[in-house]
Amino acid sequence: MSPHVSPSSPLRVALVGYGLAGAAFHAPLIATTPGLRLHSVVTANAGRRAALRADHPDARIVADTDQLLAAADELDLVVVASPDHTHVPVARAALAAGLPVVVDKPLAASTAEARALVQEARRRDLMLTVFQNRRWDADFLTARRLIADGRLGAVHRFESRFERWQPEVKPGWRQSAAAAATGGVLFDLGSHLVDQALQLFGPVERVHAEVDTRRSGAQVDDDAFLALTHTGGVRSHLWMGALAGLPGPRLRVLGDRAAYTAPRLDPQEDALRAGHRPGPGWGTVPEADHGTLGAGPDARPHPSLPGDYPAFYAGVAAALRDGAPVPVDPLDAVATLTVLEAARHSAATGRTVGLRDTGVGSLTATESPA
């Protein structure tokens, strides 16, 4: 158990940031997880402060991270949901104050920064985990179950997409040139897609990528394709973009016995954005959005497992109270960033990038002809 944690009281959680990630994802999940209490929220924006008072009237509003950590003894956990470029400095400050940390994805802007942060958490013997909520998407959970049960046979190809139709560039830090390191779709959506592929099929040995900026006025990448070759032989093809007028299927898994296709995105994000909170029936996929399982004329609709974003914070609470494994190993985020960095290099050079394992959580990239 964390030294800060009282054995009987709810864990006091501080949330840094109340933009989309903080307000729509983290705060509702924290507030509805047994054993957690949203204690403090850092935001200086007047409009967001007003929204916070309406959404979570018992939460304390704090002007900045320094003020928050000056009272570190009143907290049990810090959740970092501020802009990506602040993830590492805020997480470091929280660890230095003796507090466990959850960081929204991407963990950092580079593998070097991410690995150093993991090492610091280990040195201080503090929990560090990463909010990879898409591991609890209905489509991913269903595909993982089918693969584990052998329903598809030997899988040889995995296709996965996060595609949107947003032809107009919306204002915000993710679209600014200052956010170019992590603000585009490669790091934003790719952090989810690559993590899912690694979870299903293991390490990657080669990466080929195409990364572009398509929309007028866009300052960051908004269209990307990654082709990953896993060490086990499976090939993952991943698409992400903001200019998809007709998005492709959410995912498709091809095996030598059968295939599985899920048509659309998990419903949990839309529900959270609409102000709904987890409760009975949470994460249930409408029958019309169920996937298809089989081959040829024998393919049939297949019910989706319910999505389960609340499982992440339930896992965080168990890790802090009972010493259970963290819901997401931060070294998984290092592996994902390694692939994303290789993808950026591949796109810039037009060459396939090979990844060579040099130890636990450590990979180096080598070029090979495209």
Mean pLDDT of 137-154: 98
Mean pLDDT of 217-224: 91
**Is residue 263 left, alpha or beta, with left meaning phi > 0 and alpha meaning psi from -120 to 50?**
alpha
CB 202 within 8 A of CB 230: yes
Chosen CATH of 11-131 out of 3.40.50.720, 3.40.50.410, 3.30.1440.10, 3.90.199.10: 3.40.50.720
CATH number attached to the domain at 134-307: 3.30.360.10
Is omega for the bond preceding 249 within 30 degrees of 0, making it cis?
A: no
d(CA 214, CA 221): 8
Q: What pLDDT, on the 0 to 100 scale, is given for residue 174?
A: 63
Strand partners, 228: 207, 236
Mean pLDDT of 64-74: 97
Could you tell me the pLDDT band of residue 356, with boundaries at 50, 70 and 90?
Answer: confident
For residue 326, CA distances in Å to 9, 132, 208, 302 come to 20, 12, 31, 31
Could you tell me the pLDDT band of residue 177, with boundaries at 50, 70 and 90?
Answer: low
pTM score, two decimals? Answer: 0.92
Domain ranges in the chain? 11-131, 134-307
Q: Is the pLDDT score of 161 beyond 70?
A: yes
- The letter for the amino acid at 174 is R
d(CA 76, CA 48): 24
**Is residue 10 left, alpha or beta, with left meaning phi > 0 and alpha meaning psi from -120 to 50?**
beta
Pick from 184, 185, 196: nearest CA to 159:
196
- 């390191």: which residue's tokens? 181
For 17-61, write each residue's pLDDT tens digit.
Answer: 999 999 999 999 999 999 999 999 999 999 999 999 999 999 999
